[in-house]
Each structure stands twice: as structure tokens, then as C-alpha cells.
């Protein structure tokens, strides 16, 4: 009730970025685990008569990892801006009046 518009916007922005950070971390861990499983157990097999290799090798470079994680964090930030601005413009009395 006594919070300023800027503080309400920053709370929504922080919550959205926390969700984006957790999602990025979980997705990165899942992707790294998937690469490890494929390289260790060779689950995705290729036809030997068509290709010179019998399985699909996966390789992740540090630059690729950095680009993907930074892009997902940037998209999370941009997706958080609109709801944070909209929440900052709301009048708390009008929101609570119909609850």
C-alpha cells in the first residue's frame, strides 16, 4: 500500500529475473547432462552404410554455452520488463477494491 511505483516495478523485475535465472540454470544442466549421456552411451545411432560414424557425437564449446545462456537471460529480462512496468502503473487501491 505504501510502496512507490519504482519499488513495485523492481520487485516484479527481480522476481522475473529470478525465474529466468533458475530456468536458465536448469536448462543448462539438463543440456550438459544430455551431451554427457550421448557421448558416453551413444544412444543416437547413425546408419553405418550411409555415414562414416556409427553414433552422433555432441560437442559444446565455451563460446556456444556463453552465447546460449546470455541469450536466454536477455530474453528473460526483456520478457519481464512489460509485466513489471504494468504492475508499477497499477493503483493498489483499485486492485484491492474488487478482491
Other CB atoms within 10 Å distance of the CB of residue 14? 12
Other CB atoms within 10 Å distance of the CB of residue 43? 11
Q: Taking the model in full, what pTM does it have? A: 0.86
For the chain, residues with pLDDT lower than 50 are none
According to the model, what pLDDT value does residue 60 have? 97
According to the model, what pLDDT value does residue 22 have? 98
CB 9 within 8 A of CB 88: yes
According to the model, what pLDDT value does residue 82 have? 97
> How does DSSP classify residue 46?
-
Domain spans of the chain, in order of start: 5-62+73-88
CB 73 within 8 A of CB 21: yes
Amino acid at each position: 500500500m505504501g510502496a512507490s511505483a519504482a519499488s513495485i516495478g523492481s520487485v516484479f523485475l527481480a522476481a522475473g529475473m529470478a525465474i529466468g535465472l533458475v530456468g536458465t540454470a536448469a536448462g543448462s544442466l539438463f543440456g550438459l547432462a544430455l551431451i554427457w549421456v550421448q557421448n558416453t552411451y551413444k544412444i543416437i545411432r547413425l546408419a553405418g552404410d550411409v555415414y562414416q560414424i556409427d553414433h552422433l557425437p555432441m560437442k559444446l564449446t565455451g563460446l556456444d554455452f556463453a552465447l546460449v545462456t546470455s541469450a536466454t537471460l536477455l530474453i528473460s529480462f526483456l520478457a519481464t520488463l512489460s509485466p513489471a512496468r504494468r504492475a508499477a502503473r497499477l493503483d493498489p487501491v483499485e486492485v484491492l477494491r474488487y478482491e
